[in-house]
Structure 1
Amino acid sequence: MLLTTLAGLGFGLSLIVAIGAQNAYVLRQGLRREHVLAVVIVCAASDAVLILVGVAGFGALIRTVPWLLIVVRIVGAAFLLGYAALAARRAVLPRPLDTSVVGTAASLAQVLATTAALTWLNPHVYLDTVVFLGSVAAAHGDERWYFGLGAVLGSILWFTALGFGARLLRPVFSRPVSWRILDIGIAVIMTVIAVSLLFGIGS
């Protein structure tokens, strides 16, 4: 039981720690110290739902409706390109030091909506979490739920560390140029993921 849980923890972390749209957003919110707890909860809770769905065997169902992933790819790519444009705009437009560090505060509703969109409109999360992780969990037979529990714990640990640990980088981001570099990086990441989603249609 313990070994299976630890296996799920390690496997879950191996899937989630890669730099992506969701992680980039969590990092940015952590640096801004803006609704960090809410962002962490949404990301971790969403992952938990998707992991449990995968462990329950719904990955096989997703594979039978490929058109659904195509729709998610298109909508997700459009959203990511829009967010990339906003990040690029922030990187280009000059702004004083205080707003570079704090930025224009977004409402809790806006932050939650963006977090949810970056999570649920990303088809990779379904392929990795529901299909892939679900398939690996199934190999553990009756202990697959312990494997899923480990993966859920991995998500909680990762998003908590990323969101609240980002404040350790605040001295680096006390300069406007650091925020510009971050926003350029976010714009590039979002664009690359969006393009990969569009090129992946039909594959």
Structure 2
Amino acid sequence: MPLLTTAIAGFTFGLGLIVAIGAQNAFVLRQGLRREHVGVVVAVCAVSDLALIAAGAAGLGAIVAAHPRVLAAVTILGAGVLLWYGVSAAIRAIRGSGGLEPGADASKGLRETLLTAVALTWLNPHVYLDTVVLLGSVSASYATPWAFAVGAGAASIVWFSGLGFGARGLAPLFARPATWRVFDAVIATAMVSIAVSLLAGLA
């Protein structure tokens, strides 16, 4: 199969995995709307995805799948992070403290933003199940798995860049405090629901 065709298949598959409501995407969107450390957040998420995709294509998925206790530990940690992020969003929704201007609510410094981006990426068990295990398995079905991985990596770069830097197009809508309340309420509900489902899956 031609390399370009395989890369396109990887791009499509990768985009299908990454375009979903989740803590990582919500965080990138929020930073993009507020225009705070957008480049750093986009870089952390994209580079992390590239590393995980490469690991999956290299066969790490089989190792992860063979150690359920490790995955269970990551799941518990990830659920804790999601609950924390969900509760934070709920508090913002109740207080109505969201805004586009830096300082409209408690703006995060670069270090805190960086740590949050890393935690929401690497402590998310879905990352390992989808990116490493699932994507790694699918890439192995192609004659040139690395071409598939390159396509999936390109999808991550395009998505996070578009989400972070393109968020400013939604600025007029999010100029209203009520929109932020709805946004944070939706995020809070989604994050808590995901966390609960992850913990329930361990039972």
Q: What range is the shorter-chain TM-score in?
A: over 0.9
The one-letter code sitting in structure 2 at the alignment partner of 1:108 is: L
Offset of residue 122 of structure 1: 0.7
Offset of residue 13 of structure 1: 0.3
Distance (whole Å) between structure 1 residues aligned to residue 162 and residue 174 of structure 2: 18
The answer as to whether partners of 2:96 and 2:178 remain within 8 angstroms in 1 is no
Q: Determine the structure 2 residue equivalent to 1:183.
A: 184
Offset of residue 100 of structure 1: 2.1
The answer as to whether partners of 2:48 and 2:121 remain within 8 angstroms in 1 is yes
Offset of residue 23 of structure 1: 0.6
Distance (whole Å) between structure 2 residues aligned to residue 32 and residue 94 of structure 1: 15
Is 1:169 the counterpart of 2:170 in the alignment? yes
Matches within 5 A, 1:64-79: 64-79=66-81
The one-letter code sitting in structure 2 at the alignment partner of 1:151 is: A
Q: Determine the structure 1 residue equivalent to 2:64.
A: 62
Matches within 5 A, 1:28-39: 28-39=30-41
Offset of residue 43 of structure 1: 0.3
Identify the range of structure 1 (154-163 vs 83-92) with the bigger mean alpha-carbon deviation. 83-92
Distance (whole Å) between structure 1 residues aligned to residue 137 and residue 6 of structure 2: 14
Provide the alpha-carbon RMSD of the alignment: 1.0
TM-score normalised by the chain length of structure 2: 0.95
TM-score normalised by the chain length of structure 1: 0.95
Matches within 5 A, 1:11-90: 11-90=13-92
1:113-139 per-position Cα deviation (integer Å, ceiling 9, x unaligned): 111111111111100000000000000
Distance (whole Å) between structure 2 residues aligned to residue 94 and residue 51 of structure 1: 38
The one-letter code sitting in structure 1 at the alignment partner of 2:135 is: L
Distance (whole Å) between structure 2 residues aligned to residue 79 and residue 7 of structure 1: 32
The one-letter code sitting in structure 1 at the alignment partner of 2:146 is: W
Offset of residue 83 of structure 1: 1.3
Q: Determine the structure 1 residue equivalent to 2:195.
A: 194
1:23-42 per-position Cα deviation (integer Å, ceiling 9, x unaligned): 11111111000000100000
Offset of residue 94 of structure 1: 4.1
1:81-106 per-position Cα deviation (integer Å, ceiling 9, x unaligned): 111111111111144xxx62223321
Identify the range of structure 1 (24-33 vs 85-94) with the bigger mean alpha-carbon deviation. 85-94
Q: Determine the structure 1 residue equivalent to 2:100.
A: 101
Count of aligned residue pairs for this structure pair: 198
The answer as to whether partners of 1:101 and 1:179 remain within 8 angstroms in 2 is no
